[in-house]
Structure 1
């Protein structure tokens, strides 16, 4: 897919570029980002260069991973990152994100997540956007809930991070949750919102 730029009320969301390596390296020194995400720990300058120069561009090229740098529309430093990753079954994508500590609590991540969800449902023909975080990552869960994700439960040993299998919270967002049509019909189970 051709790399795409998105805008929100306050953010410019663009694909990562090699010149972002220093900002990514600096942001990922935050112990909270290293603790709750799958970025390497310790996070080196080489890790940032690999991410911005190789992994992010190749994800766009082979249609498997779409990583966005989150920047303030009026200019300024990197606010955070958001990725939309293809997974099975077809039409299903997983989203992950982090935001720099100085930008937390301002609603930027929720704003970016909603923009990315609308883009995934329209440009990628996604029918399901999944969110997963290690149990205990309350800030990530709060962002997902504010964006309209419906919590679907806990999964034991569902995340492998830094050599340890971890239990996760899981949630999902469907096109209909944002008032958008899906690519394929959805038949909810009886007794589940919309089911008979």
Structure 2
């Protein structure tokens, strides 16, 4: 798959590159990102270099694209968002926002832009996007809920994080689901 830039009214999603290594390194050392994601701990500059040099290109080649979240095309990296292909018509979404950029609605805007593209016939033509997070990750759940993801349940020990299995919350979004906050979420 060829890299594509996606833009909404408040976010621009671009491919992360070598110029983003320092921002990724700093963000992935944030205790909440370490707590709620599967990034290595401690997170090193070499991890960020491996991410932009190996993981991102391999993802684009393997239908699991990753974007940098920015407010302008040439602005600083404020987070990342991506899809992990589950099969030809479904993917799992994942995202994080750097501490200084939180509470501005960037995650919600980025998830909406990415889901729009993922469902479009001239995009990825997906029939389902799944969201999974460690149970009790209220911030990530709030974003998914606002976008319209429907809570589907708890996957017991569904996430492996640094060698330890944890319960996961699971939600799904289908192309015809309304993009309004969904009820039924544990909060």
TM-score (norm 2): 0.91
Listed as ranges, the gaps of 5+ residues in structure 1 are 180-196
- 2:57 aligns with 57
Residues 16, 57 of structure 1: 8 Å contact kept: no
RMSD: 1.3
- 1:182 aligns with none
SS in 1 for 2:103: coil
Q: CA deviation at 1:61?
A: 1.8
Structure of larger gyration radius:
1
State how far apart, in whole Å, the 2-side matches of 1:140 and 1:12 are. Answer: 20
Residues 15, 69 of structure 1: 8 Å contact kept: yes
Instruction: Report the number of matched residues.
Output: 177
Deviations 1:146-175, CA, capped at 9 Å, x for gaps = 010000011101000011100011000000
Q: 1:74 to 1:124 in 2, by over 3 A?
A: closer
SS in 2 for 1:94: strand
Question: Is 2:113 aligned against 1:115?
Answer: yes
Q: CA deviation at 1:104?
A: 1.0
Listed as ranges, the gaps of 5+ residues in structure 2 are 180-187
Q: CA deviation at 1:77?
A: 2.3
Q: CA deviation at 1:75?
A: 5.2
Q: CA deviation at 1:24?
A: 0.5
Residues 14, 73 of structure 2: 8 Å contact kept: no
Q: 1:167 to 1:7 in 2, by over 3 A?
A: same
Q: CA deviation at 1:53?
A: 1.1
Segments ≥4 residues shifted beyond 4 Å: none
SS in 2 for 1:39: coil
